[in-house]
A and B are shown apart, each in its own frame.
Chain A
Amino acid sequence: MDVKLSDLRHRDVLDISSATTVGRVQGLVIDFTEQQVSALTIDKASIEASVLPWDQVKSVGPDAVTVDGSTGLRAPSGPAEERVGAKTDEPIGKRVLTEFGDQIGTVDDVVIDDRSGTFRGLIVDGRPLDAQLVMGIGDHAAVVRQPPS
């Protein structure tokens, strides 16, 4: 089922093996080449346990994201993860530029599939924009291929 980042954010991350909350969902790390969420980032957690790789997620439920044991949580690794949590990393509100340098709107939300972690696309000015068109989201903008008119 499609889930929006804005709905996913702040959802508790629950370790079902200890029945304790390890943190809350803060953001997404997306591999735009694979169109796949590679990790969730966690706030209210130590930096050493602020990244939850997608393959460690047991389930994305309506009230909590569950993990089975907290050993899968780890420190950020690589530029994409290291900038997560920085102000410039927030995708919502970023401008959307075409590959030709024209702004076509701003990012309202990011949509993923809550089972597979597939990146489904963006909501841009209230309209869905398919993941196939998204080239990347950086510190400044989301860059997209020219949508068919």
Chain B
Amino acid sequence: MTSRPASDGELDAPTDLSPPPDARSQGGGPAPGPDPVEAATVPEGHRLVRASGLTGLDVVTLEGNRAVEVKDVVFDKAAGTLTGFTLRKPGLLGGPQKSVLPVSGVQAVGRDAVMIPSHAVLAGPEELVGSGDNIIGDRVITDDGTELGIVVDVIASVHDGVADVIGFEITASANADPDGGLLLVPMPAAHSMSGEAVVVPARVREHLSRDLDGLQASVRMFRTQQDEA
């Protein structure tokens, strides 16, 4: 691991009380200060999103114009980051769209739309490192050799041109949870990924959760613990 996304500074330093400087403060008004640790993980106004849930979202400029919608999410496995989005024309019959949306051009990802400053942030396909959503189907295995499950979704926080992959949703193996079902695995700051598996520290097993709030707490706890280790 040589390159980490800039946002990891926030995540790895939960004691930093100052909120990241960004455009959100413009219209914010005197909002009560959020829990600093919370703010360090996912700043106010942003939420964790499932990568699968982004397909079909409208891409809208801050002027209210729409050109495209999200087709797929592109990851760079080597860096462990989400690099951007492939696009399609709106509508069920929407054809492919050559241009792509790099994460650097994303203002925010909300429930209902991906916000961009203007169409100028759309770029040629060569601007995106990585390929498709092929993390899906990878095995998640601990460094002591326990398979936790198979990746079915990726959980990320995307805002102000920065994407942070927070964790994975997996179909739990019997080793991870005898009850099976879906589990959320926090993404450690240090990890390795290949075309076939994501290797995580064994301690991640103590931080599995079943909902995004739980994942949020896990990421916080796990990454804090990791700092102290």
Residues of A within 8 A of B (CB): 32, 94-95, 97-103, 133, 135-143, 145-149
Contact = CB atoms under 8 A, between A and B. Distances in A.
Contact of A148 (B31, B57, B61, B62): B31
A141 B107 contact: no
Contact of A146 (B27, B66, B111, B113): B27
B19 to A, nearest CB: 14
A147 B29 CA distance: 9
Contacts, number: 89
B62 A101 contact: no
B66 A101 contact: no
Interface string B145-174: 000000000000001000000000000000
Enumerate the 8 nearest inter-chain pairs by beta-carbon distance, A residue then B residue, closest first: A101-B110, A138-B64, A145-B27, A140-B66, A138-B65, A136-B63, A148-B29, A103-B112
Interface in B64-89: 64-66
A147 B31 CA distance: 11
Interface residues of B, number: 29
A136 B63 CA distance: 4
A137 B24 CA distance: 19
B110 A100 contact: yes
Given A145-B27, A148-B29, A101 B60 contact: yes
Given A99-B107, A101-B111, A133 B64 contact: no
Contacts of B45: 100, 146
A139 B66 contact: yes
B3 interface: no
Nearest to B111: A102
Interface string B102-127: 00000111111111000000000000
A79 to B, nearest CB: 10
27 contacts: A32-B63, A97-B60, A97-B113, A98-B110, A99-B107, A100-B24, A100-B45, A100-B108, A101-B109, A101-B111, A102-B113, A103-B113, A135-B63, A136-B62, A136-B64, A137-B63, A138-B61, A138-B63, A138-B64, A140-B58, A141-B66, A141-B113, A143-B62, A143-B64, A145-B27, A146-B28, A146-B45
